[in-house]
Amino acid sequence: MIERERIEAIKRGVDLTALVKAKGVRLRKNGKSYFGLCPFHGDKNPSFSVNPLNNLWQCFGCGAGGDVIRFIELFDQVDFKEAVSRLSDNGFKSIKR
């Protein structure tokens, strides 16, 4: 079982915006959020949103959304445990709020 503290540290510490960009999703800032084409469905309009203040993402087209762990689960098509492992070993832990 994965420790709750480890999960919370990942959710707080991994920079979701940098992670999404590193995965090849082009984002454009609009107000306090970033928008782009959703990587999870055939998006033609920028309905994918990343909110760096709460470190969450949401697609207003397909309804998918969540935190950094859920993004990796869907994008890399891995289970929760593997997503946590991958995020524990990444270089995106530089959030400045």
Structurally, how many domains does the chain consist of? 1
28 lies in some domain: no
Instruction: Indicate whether 7 belongs to any domain.
Output: yes
Residue 71's identity, in one-letter code, is F
Expressed as residue numbers, the domain containing 66 is 1-23+47-97
For residues 94 and 42, the answer to whether their CB atoms sit within 8 Å is no
Domain annotation covers residue 33: no
pTM for the whole structure: 0.89
Burial class (CB in 10 A: 0-12, 13-18, 19+), 78: middle
Q: What is the CATH number of the domain that holds 17?
A: 3.90.580.10
- The answer to whether residue 2 sits within a structural domain is yes
- Asked if residue 94 belongs to a domain, the reply is yes
Q: Answer yes or no: is 36 within a domain.
A: no
Q: Provide the residue-wise pLDDT of the chain in tens; the chain has 97 residues.
A: 789 999 999 999 999 999 999 999 999 999 999 999 999 999 999 999 999 999 999 999 999 999 999 999 999 999 999 999 999 876 555 444 3
Chain-centroid distance of CA 25 in Å reads: 10
